[in-house]
Structure 1
Amino acid sequence: MVTIYDLKPKFQACLRPAAAWLAQAGVSANAVTVAALALSVAQGAWLALEPGAALPLLLLPVTLFVRMALNAVDGLMAKEHDMASPQGAVLNELSDVIADAALYLPFALISGVNAPLVVLVVVTGIVAEMTGALGPLIKAPRRYDGPFGKSDRALGFGLLAVLLGLGLEPGPWTNVYLGILLALSAYTVLNRARRIVAEAKP
């Protein structure tokens, strides 16, 4: 199933010079990962401290794009500049789910937004990422299948942030919107689990 993740090779190609420059400057891939996490936590704290405020909501898509770029850069540095390590692999998986929680849970604090639905979408997204990471445990590839992976969640919450930031009042439409995101997240869990089991080596 096509997802935004399928655009990753072209996105990485644009960022390859930046990854090479950082590697030559002595910056580690793990440092880039930590920078992406710190940026996400800071943006999430801003959203939580000013729930529903226009500026942090409208700047969220920018933060999400920068985070995505940093995630792509750290991957390039690890693979193409001999910086891959067990510590980096663990840090990468943990930082992704921590950043998602930090960035998206503050939506539950916005007046009129269904908080339990927000929490369910975030938790199901975390389960999807952990499901994808189970592959190597049973000798299968790490799975990034959609329809609602990390990049798709960024688009979904980024769009929601823009709509709310532009003054659209939360209401029944936000429940429907979040319900769709939840359904897509749940299907992603099932899709990744099915692919992992099918590709597992005896």
Structure 2
Amino acid sequence: MASIYQLKPRFQALLRPTVQRLYDRGITANQVTVAAAVVSLLLGMLLVALPHIPWLFMLVPLWMLLRMALNAVDGMLAREFDQQSTLGAYLNELCDVIADAALYLPFALLPGVSSALVVLVVLCATFSEYAGVMGPLAGASRRYDGPMGKSDRAFAFGVLGAGVAFGLLDGSWVNGLLLVILVLSLYTLYNRVRHGLVETR
């Protein structure tokens, strides 16, 4: 199933010189992981405090793009510079889920947007990531199947943030797009379980 995640190798190639410079300066993978989560939490808190200022939601796509880069950077630091650790594995998965929730939930405070729908999207995103993590426990690999993986959700919510910031999307449009994200997230959950089962056979 097609996913933005499939572009990751090219993205990593572009980032490799930056990763080398970060390593030379003593930056670790875990530091990058935690920093990305902290900034996501701070941005989420800002949006929760000021949901009536639409242009602030433009920070969502800008941060999503930078966060995807940081997610690639921490993985490259861990793999290519012998920084892999059990703590890093925990931080990588937990920080991603926490950051996603912090960035998605503020959309529930927008006028006309269904808070229940936003919460459902957050829950399904969490469940699909958990299904991916369950792969190794079931004897398969960590599953990254789409069509609504982490990178795809970042793109989708980046589009929502830009649409809200520029006044292009009202509550009904946001709800419609959230419904599409929800359906694709459920399909992603199904794909990750199904492909994990096939792999174990």
Could you list the runs of 5+ residues in structure 2 that have no partner in the other structure? none
Deviation, 1:170, is 2.3
Q: 1:1-202, aligned counterparts within 5 Å?
A: 1-168=1-168, 170-200=170-200
Q: Give the Cα separation in 2 of the matches to 1:160 and 1:85.
A: 35
Could you tell me how far apart the structure 2 residues matched to 1:28 and 1:117 are? 37
- Secondary structure of 1:33's counterpart equals helix
Measure, in 2, the Cα distance between the counterparts of 1:173 and 1:194. Answer: 32
Preserved CA contact (<8 Å) 1:52 1:164: no
Range 171-180 or range 107-116, more displaced:
171-180
161-170 or 59-68, larger mean C-alpha shift:
161-170
For 2:94 and 2:199, how far apart are their aligned partners in 1?
A: 24
Moved over 2 A (4+): 168-175
Whole-angstrom distance in 1 between the partners of 2:22 and 2:107: 34
With normalisation by structure 1, the TM-score equals 0.96
Structure 2: distance between partners of 1:52 and 1:165: 11
Give me the TM-score of the superposition, normalised by structure 2.
0.96
Cα 1:176–1:24, aligned 2, differ >3 Å: closer, same or farther? same
More displaced stretch, 147-156 vs 16-25 = 16-25
The root-mean-square deviation of aligned C-alpha atoms, in Å, is: 1.1
Tell me if structure 1 keeps the 8 A contact 2:55–2:166: no
| More displaced stretch, 16-25 vs 149-158 | 16-25
Cα contact 2:111–2:171 (8 A) shared by 1: no
